[in-house]
Amino acid sequence: MATTLSALGRLSLTAAASLALLVAVAVPASADTATPDRSGIDAAVSAAHVYDGADPQATGCSAGATTAAQATRNGMTFQLRWSPSCQTNWVRILNYPGNVPPSQREGLWMDVHDRDRDELVPFTGSTSISGTRWGNMVYSPANNCTWGMINYSNVFFDPNYGPYDLSLLSSSC
């Protein structure tokens, strides 16, 4: 009789284990077949353009570029550049002195924002390199309003521009 109970116990255990395995495999498989709602994610990805955040020199977009807006301050010339061939804008600084003490700046900020697309491309560069400096591009078709924002030293902080020392706007703004 002990042998019969043992055989029944093994059969019950095997059946229970098989049922548990079937349930464990079936639950994830049905969860994987469900299609998640990715509408918000897909919209954000499709809104980005190949030139958003790209280097204007490396892409060749700087060739034939013009200056959309310009200002001079403290011996430096700040420019909002426009590439008609790539339909992009970026910030460029001529005569950047470099060697800005770290206590005055966390980095050289050259951000550019296409206001019509609401696409901001932030750029932080080293404050120790002098000469001509430029940030990355934002795709901004011809009639879009673009805003170039520069922060090069906390010494020259201008409260009119918020956290930036200087702001340049395209003619479409």
**Which of the residue ranges 3-7, 43-47, 101-105 has the most confident prediction, judged by mean pLDDT?**
101-105
Between 70 and 48, whose confidence is greater?
A: 70
C-beta neighbour count of 70 within 10 angstroms? 13
pLDDT band at 155 (very low <50, low <70, confident <90, very high): low
pLDDT band at 151 (very low <50, low <70, confident <90, very high): confident
* pLDDT of amino acid 18: 38
Residue 87's alpha-carbon distances to 70, 103, 122, in angstroms, are 18, 37, 18
- Rounded to two decimals, the pTM is 0.68
